[in-house]
Amino acid sequence: MDDQDIQGQIEALVAEEHQLFEAKPDPAEDAERHKRLEAVRHELDRCWDLLRQRRGREEFDLDPDVVSARDAETVEGYQQ
């Protein structure tokens, strides 16, 4: 997966996130929508982390293809 692929995935996830936010409130679907929104947010964090790893390696003329996506628990555990 190259930078453009990751960026495309980020854009698709952001679009889905916006759709989930803009959906009409429906109590029957709220729990499922909330669960999907959390999954989208975790995946977005993982994609951004992967893109940052790749760009950091590229900046120092290292091979960006050796990095891989970290698991959600690792990415979500980063201090802000």
Report how far residue 24's alpha carbon sits from residue 21's, in angstroms, rounded to the nearest whole number. 8
Q: Tokens standing for 34?
A: 């909330």
| pLDDT digits 0-9 by tens, 16-71 | 999 998 988 888 888 899 999 999 999 999 999 999 999 999 999 999 999 999 99
| Per-residue model confidence (pLDDT) at position 25 | 81
- What is the value of pTM for the model shown? 0.89
Report how far residue 53's alpha carbon sits from residue 15's, in angstroms, rounded to the nearest whole number. 23
